Amino acid sequence: MNQFLNKDDDKWHITMFVDIPRIVIRNHLNFRIYSVTSPSGVVTKDPSILNSNYIFRITQNLLGKKVFFNVSLSRPSIANVDMFRFGLCDENIGWHYSTLFDVKNEYKGITITSVEPQERQPIRVEPIIIVTEVPQTNDQVSEQELEQKVIKSRV
């Protein structure tokens, strides 16, 4: 079993080999998360973990074999998870309790830092023109007078 942060998809991965027993499938057999436990001990059964991939269909030809699973979990969704419990579920029928096992969450809020330094782009500064004198009356000011006032304010 291995746990790591994948910088390509920014998800926490748990990889594992699981022995799938020979069992009778009545509906659809899935390998998935049975429950999660928070650090305070609160257990949530059949959790919904957004933006994650943790449900895998098991077909008849996988029974009795060792199968590799790569669970990918959204980091914000598992930040408050201490333990995962995985197992086999015959969907809408029930869980195969003898297949349940626990995996400690090793995610500790790791952040990805860029290995390659980013190139700095030069900052282009545009001059700002501030007009300090604005006519207070409704008298019209000619364009020429306004240009002279702007030129004076630059100096």
Whether 11 shows a pLDDT value over 80: the answer reads yes
Question: Which tokens belong to 50?
Answer: 């957004």
Q: Where are the domains of the chain?
A: 2-104
Q: What is the predicted pLDDT for the residue at 140?
A: 60
Could you report the per-residue pLDDT of 14-60, keeping only the tens digit for each? Answer: 999 999 999 999 999 999 999 999 999 999 999 999 999 999 999 99
Could you report the per-residue pLDDT of 86-128, keeping only the tens digit for each? Answer: 999 999 999 999 999 999 999 976 554 444 445 555 655 555 5
Classified as helix, coil or strand, 3 is: strand
Residue with more model confidence, 132 or 68: 68
Instruction: Tell me how far apart the alpha carbons of residues 81 and 63 are, in angstroms, rounded to a whole number.
Output: 30
What mean pLDDT is predicted for residues 68-78?
Answer: 96
Q: What is the predicted pLDDT for the residue at 114?
A: 41
Instruction: Tell me how far apart the alpha carbons of residues 152 and 42 are, in angstroms, rounded to a whole number.
Output: 72
Using CA atoms, how far residue 148 sits from 39, 128, 129, 135, 136, in Å, is 72, 17, 13, 14, 17
Specify the pairing of strand 11-19 against strand 66-74: antiparallel
Backbone φ and ψ for 149, nearest 5 degrees, come out as: -65, -40
Residue with more model confidence, 155 or 92: 92
Nearest-10 Cα torsion for 98, 55, 36, 15: 90
CATH class belonging to 2-104 = mainly beta
First to last CA, the chain: 72
Whether 132 shows a pLDDT value over 50: the answer reads no
Given the structure tokens 């290995």, which residue do they identify?
A: 115
The DSSP H or E segment spanning 75 is helix 75-78
Global confidence as pTM: 0.68
